[in-house]
Structure formats: C-alpha cells, structure tokens
Amino acid sequence: MQEFRCKKCQKLLAKYRECRILQIKCTRCGETNHLFLAELQNEIAPKNYTLLNKARN
C-alpha cells in the first residue's frame, strides 16, 4: 500500500492500493491535497495535482 501525505505538513492522510483520483483536506493544516493517476494527466489533471505513476502500484 502507498502512503498519501500532506504536501505542507507531511501528516499521513491515507493509505491506498489502487487510486485514480483522490482529494483530501488535511485536518492539521487545512491544505487540500490531490492525487491523480499519471496516465490521465492529459485528460483533466490540474497542474497542482500530485501525479501517481502507474508503475508505483
């Protein structure tokens, strides 16, 4: 399983196995964090999303 941590404070927000899109607001600092599968990057991913390379699964 992969860990998903806040970009700002590094708090562990979630653990995931398979994920295409994930958005979580950190309860510690209030930062909205995004995870987006890299193969969908050209379709709808905003530039501020963390891109997940499919090879990491």
Predicted confidence (pLDDT) per residue in 20-34, tens digit: 788 999 999 999 998
Task: Report whether pLDDT(52) > 80.
Answer: no
DSSP 7: T
Q: Which residue has the tokens 């979630």?
A: 14
More confident residue, 17 or 13: 13
pTM across the whole model: 0.64
Whether residue 42 has pLDDT greater than 80: no
> Which residue, chain included where needed, has tokens 């891109």?
51
Count structural domains, the chain.
1
Domain holding 47, by residue range, is 2-56
pLDDT of residue 44: 53
Q: What is the pLDDT of residue 18?
A: 81
> What's the pLDDT band for 57 if we cut at 50, 70, 90?
very low
